[in-house]
Amino acid sequence: MHERGFCMSLSTEPGRASSEFQENLEILMEIPLLAGLSLEVFKVLAYLCRREIFRPGEVIFRQNEPDENAYFILSGTAVLLREDGEDHEVRKIHESEFLGGLSLLGDVKRLFTLRAETPVTCLMLSQERFRKTLERAPEMIGRLLENLVKGIQTWEEGFLNKHAMKCQDCLSGSGVSLV
């Protein structure tokens, strides 16, 4: 079972809560999906996120299950798996990677399973807390949509350059940015 702790948890260590808050704030401000949000919004999000520690072998999220959290890997290594009766490793996930940003914007089922390979500490933000924050700053929604479009276009361009032009099936399945 993983350990749960809120970002602004009370601590017997002087300055611990404020240093975690500052670290969370700095991390959130570097996530491309959130780029350009106001400092006030970032501060609220930094306060509302939580940290969780997952033990080796523990599932962080599971394929085909709804998950309303976005994850920033603070430390450790996890393995991204595609399950179809067997576990097929897609790739390793390392420190400083951000996963699940789309879940902040809408209901999604995970296409992969993420399992901790070593102890993994995640900074997590829930869709509910994210949406409540945006309700107070609706002017930020346009910026998020711009960031999302930019991210999709950048991903698809990279996909085309690396894979799709060499694989007719991949090429015929591309065009996400045309939606």
Full DSSP string of 101-147: THHHHS--B-SSEEEESS-EEEEEEEHHHHHHHHHT-GGGHHHHHHH
Same structural domain, 56 and 114: yes
The reported pLDDT for the residue numbered 174 is 76
**Statement to judge: residues 88 and 23 lie in one domain:** yes
Host domain of residue 143: 139-179
Coil/strand/helix, residue 172: helix
User: In the chain, pLDDT over 90 holds for what percent of residues?
Assistant: 70
Write out the two tokens for 177: 């940015």
> Does 6 have pLDDT greater than 80?
no
CA distances from 60 to 13, 36, 82, 149 (A): 28, 29, 14, 27
Asked if residue 115 and residue 64 are part of one domain, the reply reads yes
100-117 mean pLDDT: 94
Q: Tens of pLDDT along 128-157?
A: 999 999 999 999 999 999 999 999 899 888
The terminus-to-terminus CA distance of the chain in angstroms comes to 41
User: For position 179, what pLDDT does the model report?
Assistant: 62
SS3 of residue 3 by DSSP: strand
Task: Sheet with 113-116: list strands edge to edge.
Answer: 59-61, 113-116, 78-83, 87-93
The mean pLDDT value of the chain amounts to 87
Residue 4, SS3? Answer: strand
Which tens digits make up the pLDDT trace of 7-17? Answer: 333 334 455 56
Closest to 115 measured CA to CA, from 91, 139, 135, 138: 91
pLDDT at res. 66: 92
- Looking at the structure, tell me whether residues 69 and 86 fall in a common domain: yes
Kindly tell me if the per-residue pLDDT of 34 is higher than 50: yes
Instruction: Domain count for the chain, please give it.
Output: 2
Give CA angle at 66 (127, 83), nearest 5°. 135
Q: Are residues 143 and 96 in the same domain?
A: no
The predicted structure's pLDDT at residue 167: 79
Lowest mean pLDDT among 15-24, 46-55, 107-116, 142-151: 15-24
pLDDT at 25 (0 to 100): 97
List own/partner pairs for 155-163 with CB under 8 A and 24 or more apart: none
Say yes or no: 82 and 167 in one domain.
no
**176 and 106 share one domain:** no
pLDDT recorded at residue 116: 98
Nearest to 134 by CA among 37, 20, 47, 57: 37
Is residue 67 domain-shared with residue 117, that is, in the same domain?
Answer: yes
- CATH code at position 125: 2.60.120.10
- Residue 72 shares a structural domain with residue 152: no
What are the Cα distances from residue 171, in Å, to 2, 150, 162, 176? 41, 20, 11, 11
pLDDT band at residue 162 under the 50/70/90 scheme = confident
**Higher pLDDT residue, 77 or 171?**
77
Label residue 161 by pLDDT band (50, 70, 90): confident
Shared-domain flag, residues 163 and 123:
no
